[in-house]
Amino acid sequence: MYDKKTTQQLIKLGQSLLKDSRSAIPEILIDDLRKVINFHDWRYYVLSDSIISDLDYDTLFKKLKALEEANPNFKSKDSPTERVAFGLTKDFPSVKHIAPMLSLDNSYNAEDLKDFDESVKKLTDQEHIVYTVEPKFDGAGISLVYENDNLFVAATRGDGVKGDDIINNAKVIRSIPLSANFKQAGIQKIEIRGEVLIRKDVFDKMVEQQKQDKSDWQELKEKGEKNIGSEPKVFANARNTASGGLRMQDSKEVSQRGLEAFVYFTGYAIDENGDTILRKSLKTHHETLQLLYDLGFKAPMNEITVCENIEQAIKACSDWEEKRADYPYEIDGMVVKVNDLDLQEICGSTSHHPRWAIAYKFKAKTSSTKLLNVEFQVGRTGAITPVAKLDPVHLAGVTVSSISIHNEDYIKEKDIHIGDTVIIERSGDVIPQIVRVIPEARDGSEEQVVFPSHCPECETELKRVEGEAAWRCENSICPAKVVEGMIHFVARDAMDIEGFGKSQVKRFYDEGFLKNIPGIYKLPYDQLKELEGLGQKSIDNLTVGIEKSKIQPIHKLVYALGIRHVGKGTAKVLTKNIRDIIELKGFDLETLQAMEDIGPIVAESVHEYFHNENNLQILAELREAGLNFTQEIKENTGNQILAGKTFVFTGTLEKMGRNEAKDMVEQNGGKVVSGVSKKLDFLVAGAKAGSKLKKATDLEVSVLTEEQFLSMIVDGI
């Protein structure tokens, strides 16, 4: 970013600016001060290698602020002074990510990584794959969009499809450049992904201070002092402090959390003609990160290793696991990525994770504690979950006092007793688990866990279906099930009713204002207003949220209904080719099972749902309340010229991405399959095609170039 000569010049310039400079023209002074401050920000926040005293830095900053205030016409959006005091953001606007923010697949040992290598080789048809290995930062994901060199959007991960635009908060994170010279690299618009985190020592210091404040406060309270405010909080762990920080309303408070941002990926970068520059002028992941680093971003260039094969990548992962404790930031593993962007494109992604990358998770951290009691909770589907209440214990940055122990078989298998000493484990963002009990620690006072025979909420006798692990309450009006069902309905990834959370659902239910899902659309607002702590403002927000939910697409509504075994993906499959939700009632088991990824269990559950009177009544009431039940379905526009034909793509495609090619085939009635066999109709071979091409030639399968494939679609076979 700054070479030796520029560094020396900027140091000198800074020194002269610190001296009296009244005679200089303000415009030039302002410009020089900005350059010098940006340089020192970069040294401090990106390189972690400051070369200026705090006092000198503050003096320069104050000078710049004063000059800008005296000359408001020289104000600029990318000035370092723009990073402070943004005031309050009430509601963060929701933004759709340019491409979904995916997760990573996990691996835990060398074997898993070798399997990953095999699958990459198979997908790309290559014998040698170069990988990169870099830390898996344990913070909060962020997406940054720059347009014409300026930071334009900064969004949280949210549900992966859309997040909150928290740009004012991002601007106080000094390792995020407000502007960068992308033009120089031919980039007009780019989206960069990264992770916001807090350095371990910075976090520890904050916690130490908070603990001190808390004990001072408690002392005052014991003395009976008044007006001491509320009890000071102590942060639980660095990751939650970072992600909570991103969503704080007051950017001034955000600036005090010491947040930093590493960047590790870009999936979208276009030039002024709208053409992608990825895979064209940027060929590898390493080059991409190097470019970002050169432009002033905190890319992990000191941490990243380029590996010639998976064995080297495995070694890099285990070397890092050893030195993990010495690294200044929390990391919960390493990320192994295919370096070549062309090969990444060929690998593609599932709806959950890219196939060209995998997380290598470090071994979990464990603690031991006492199991005090077991409580039984009723879930949305009526399944009874035993929950172990623990003597609170610190584990990998969080305090654990309650842990699910799943079902009766699990309790038997692990021989869990009340009063046992148990070992609990937590790896990364995974929910803590009981690994085992320590029988040697028993003193005879331990008690057997007795599973209830009746529902703890409504006392209906519990049933256990053969082959299933859970005991269930089959009472469809069991209060616990109804409440959980409504919580699921309003949740973010279902109907996404803003201002309607878990506690509100429970409260309205307990107060008798809400009985079932359709009741959400018939709330007695006049009476709700009387509830303590619920002002006109909250009621207004709630009304808006509820109204907005009425126009959600039908796959969201189908998911929100809470049909057993129907997750978000299945809801999309079910609604793909229907115009109205009620069409699902007409589908028999066979039709349902013929759908993509729908097996007998899901089919049975959907069928049952749409043949239950109670559910049909709910649907009728929701329709009556004005919810959207319909959609237009895209007619297949292709003229089916590829009907019944199968295709395999191999090598690097120049004119289209893998997904685009797949869409084209499907729109024209054909099918893309994974392997080459005698039955295959066409192999489309791009550059660097390998063994698939050879196999196809051996089997005398027709081989097409990319151009031939395209003209086939335009002109017909």
In the complex, the residues that contact ligand IVH under the rule CB under 6 A are: 102-104, 134, 136-137, 141, 195, 264-265, 335, 354, 357, 359
Does residue 141 sit in helix, strand or coil? Answer: strand
Query: Is there a contact between 364 and 420 (Cβ–Cβ < 8 Å)?
Result: no
* CB nearer ligand IVH, residue 130 or residue 648: 130
CA dist., res. 537 & res. 522, Å (int)? 19
Strands 357-361 and 106-107: parallel
* CB nearer ligand IVH, residue 17 or residue 358: 358
Q: How far is the CB of 355 from ligand IVH (least distance, A)?
A: 10
Does residue 50 sit in helix, strand or coil? Answer: coil
Instruction: Count the neighbouring beta carbons within 10 Å of the beta carbon of residue 171.
Output: 21
* CB nearer ligand IVH, residue 290 or residue 631: 290
* CB nearer ligand IVH, residue 103 or residue 631: 103
Across the strands, what pairs with 529? none
CA dist., res. 51 & res. 684, Å (int)? 57
Q: How far is the CB of 690 from ligand IVH (least distance, A)?
A: 25
DSSP 203: H
CA dist., res. 289 & res. 519, Å (int)? 52
Query: Is there a contact between 153 and 168 (Cβ–Cβ < 8 Å)?
Result: no
Helices and strands per DSSP (H, E), number in the chain: 24, 22
CA dist., res. 82 & res. 311, Å (int)? 47
Q: How far is the CB of 585 from ligand IVH (least distance, A)?
A: 38
The token duo for 343 is 């090969």
* CB nearer ligand IVH, residue 427 or residue 570: 427
Q: Nearest CA to 310 among 300, 302, 301, 318? A: 318
136 as an active site residue: the answer is yes
Q: Nearest CA to 139 among 295, 259, 35? A: 259
Edge-to-edge, what's the strand order for the sheet holding 433-437? 398-404, 384-395, 365-378, 421-426, 433-437
* Helix or strand holding residue 306 (H, E): strand 305-307
Q: How far is the CB of 139 from ligand IVH (least distance, A)?
A: 7
Q: How far is the CB of 296 from ligand IVH (least distance, A)?
A: 19
Backbone angles phi, psi at 244, to 5 degrees: -65, -40
In sequence order, what are the residues at sequence separation of 6 or more whose Cβ sits closer than 8 angstroms to the Cβ of residue 266? Answer: 190, 191, 192, 193, 278, 288, 292
Query: Is there a contact between 388 and 405 (Cβ–Cβ < 8 Å)?
Result: yes
What are the angstrom distances between the C-alpha of 283 and each of 146, 345, 657?
21, 11, 15
* CB nearer ligand IVH, residue 34 or residue 157: 157
CA dist., res. 382 & res. 481, Å (int)? 6
Backbone angles phi, psi at 164, to 5 degrees: -100, 135
Catalytic residue chosen out of the listed positions 12, 19, 114, 136: 136
Q: How far is the CB of 195 from ligand IVH (least distance, A)?
A: 5
Q: How far is the CB of 2 from ligand IVH (least distance, A)?
A: 25
Query: Is there a contact between 437 and 420 (Cβ–Cβ < 8 Å)?
Result: yes
Across the strands, what pairs with 126? none
Strands 702-704 and 682-685: parallel
In sequence order, what are the residues at sequence separation of 6 or more whose Cβ sits closer than 8 angstroms to the Cβ of residue 84? Answer: 172, 252, 255
Q: How far is the CB of 631 from ligand IVH (least distance, A)?
A: 29
* CB nearer ligand IVH, residue 137 or residue 360: 137
CA dist., res. 91 & res. 299, Å (int)? 30
Q: How far is the CB of 519 from ligand IVH (least distance, A)?
A: 37
Side chain identity at 248, as an amino acid letter? M
CA dist., res. 530 & res. 526, Å (int)? 7
Q: How far is the CB of 677 from ligand IVH (least distance, A)?
A: 31
Q: How far is the CB of 310 from ligand IVH (least distance, A)?
A: 18
Nearest residue to the partner ligand IVH, using Cβ? 141
* CB nearer ligand IVH, residue 163 or residue 354: 354
Q: How far is the CB of 236 from ligand IVH (least distance, A)?
A: 20
Q: What is the dihedral of CA 92, 95, 97, 102, to 10 degrees?
A: 50
CA dist., res. 269 & res. 380, Å (int)? 43
E strands, 396-455, are 398-404, 417-418, 421-426, 433-437, 447-448
* CB nearer ligand IVH, residue 398 or residue 578: 398
* CB nearer ligand IVH, residue 149 or residue 332: 332
The token duo for 223 is 């003395």
Does residue 373 sit in helix, strand or coil? Answer: strand
DSSP 500: -
* CB nearer ligand IVH, residue 136 or residue 555: 136
Across the strands, what pairs with 683? 648, 703
* CB nearer ligand IVH, residue 338 or residue 416: 338
Active site residues: 136
